[in-house]
Chain A
């Protein structure tokens, strides 16, 4: 499988606290990787390092032929100018827990913003693709609504369409359903399931064990800044080797809500 993402020995510190302690990871083309783990384990930070919302302190992140934020010249990593980093970010879509839709733009405005402003696509092209995307997430009829008029599930579907509008090589999802009322989770997972089946490469941080079991090609468990376990869902979720992972999974499977609120006391 050709890799799309390769994370090599990534370390990240916030002050004295080491949040990522040497992450190694490969994600193949069209693969869906779900990352689970207790709160504070560094899952969000890892995603944010992959699309350069955070800078890393050691190691490197490679996405589809380029080192994120740097270029390798004369055996050294040299920081890229802002313009080139922006260019790299255009190809990595991100969906946030709290949607982060632009409240001053309509639904359609949110989806065309990237293609129009960043990619400078012709308006007609951007518009028609945006409407198609809204159609595919079931919100074509809300194209002219304001984000504040939508339910949480609808907002998140718009946010997914907004990310897809950039035609990214990689999609990152950071707990896309954690802020939703339980009856709205399904509609968002359905959309994600469909994107996965269409061959998108996805890294999904989630507490939805069912989604991970069913959709993920591989599941990784992150604890205290390390990937403790990674493999096929049937192996990792059923028969984890690591003690902390076993305890975490036992808790999550017994009580799914526990995962988001539970702290990582050992």
Chain B
């Protein structure tokens, strides 16, 4: 609390403002920067051949691997979202068999490690040597379930289990009055779901989906173990030959960071799009608000505030 002041002492309509100094902030900032500089220097002077990092950053084999990483992530994410939406809707079904199957799916694929699932898909030929749809299709499983297919199934189906929970939470968060209003208009279950419930659930679903997508990008590196040549696998192929292990791992790190950063930015804009209809966000100035808020936090607080 500041010093007591009587109301009739407030004679002026405007007073100059003296911002308070924050000496501790300066001290801690200097300490943190010093620590950071030490780490950076250690890496710069360590046993890392930086020119090699630069050289392989745009090597065709790495770029192809990166493209495969993006491709498998996008496809697995699409598969995951599709499965997640289907199973979330099934969880809400009045039919106990339908909702039970959805529950089982989530239980099974969330309850076992992703790496294990990838290995099982990759080796599924041991269980089913051939795939046959009578009269239509017959093939050897090894030929069908390539590393790419195994990675897609492993990542996508696993993702679907998490997405089921995400979408379900979104559907649950939509007010019951919404479904009733839709029913009172004579909308069918499907129409209500598609036109009323899911669009509103989106707003709740989008932030976790964004996080899942960023996670997927990184988890897709697990497919390296089943010899799908995404970026990490490609980097391994290179360093098995030239021995520049750390250099190639750093190359991967650079590309992963770039991709996750871009995804975060995309997520921000999609979130804003689905925030439409919310009075707080219709001014389309949230980005500006956000940057402004950040700037506010960096500026010293006004004198007297929070004293």
Contacts and interface: CB of A to CB of B under 8 A. Distances in A.
Interface of A: 51, 53, 82-83, 86-94, 96, 98, 100-106, 113-114, 117-118, 146-149, 159, 162-163, 166
Given A92-B184, A105-B277, 11 more contacts: A53-B183, A91-B186, A94-B181, A94-B184, A96-B180, A102-B200, A104-B276, A104-B277, A117-B191, A146-B278, A146-B279
13 contacts: A53-B180, A82-B189, A87-B186, A90-B185, A94-B181, A96-B184, A98-B177, A100-B181, A103-B200, A104-B276, A106-B277, A114-B185, A117-B191
Contact of A114 (B177, B186, B200): B186
B199 interface: yes
Contact of A93 (B175, B184, B189, B282): B184
A102 B181 contact: yes
A134 to B, nearest CB: 17
**Chain A CB within 10 Å — which of B175, B183, B186 has the most?**
B186
A240 to B, nearest CB: 32
B302 interface: no
B178 interface: yes
Interface residues of B, number: 22
Contacts of A105: 277
B195 interface: yes
Contacts of B282: 146, 148-149
A93 B186 CA distance: 9
A86 B186 contact: yes
B191 A102 contact: no
A181 B191 CA distance: 34
Contacts of B199: 104
Interface of B: 175, 177-178, 180-181, 183-189, 191, 195-196, 199-200, 276-279, 282
Instruction: Rank and list the top 6 A-B pairs by shortest CB-CB distance, nearest first.
Output: A90-B186, A100-B181, A100-B177, A94-B184, A148-B279, A114-B185
A118 B183 CA distance: 10
Interface centre among B183, B184, B276, B282 (most CB of A within 10 A): B184
B188 A89 contact: no
Contacts of B178: 100, 102
A103 B182 CA distance: 13
A86 B188 CA distance: 6
Contacts of A166: 185-186
Among B185, B191, B195, B278, max chain A CB count under 10 A is at B185
Among B175, B177, B277, B279: residue with most chain A CB under 10 A: B277
B200 A96 contact: no
Contact of B184 (A53, A82, A148, A149): A53
A89 B195 contact: no
A166 B184 CA distance: 10
A149 B279 contact: yes
Contacts of B200: 102-104
A159 B177 CA distance: 13
A147 B277 contact: yes
Contacts of B195: 113, 117
A227 B287 CA distance: 57
A165 B188 CA distance: 18
Contacts of B279: 146, 148-149
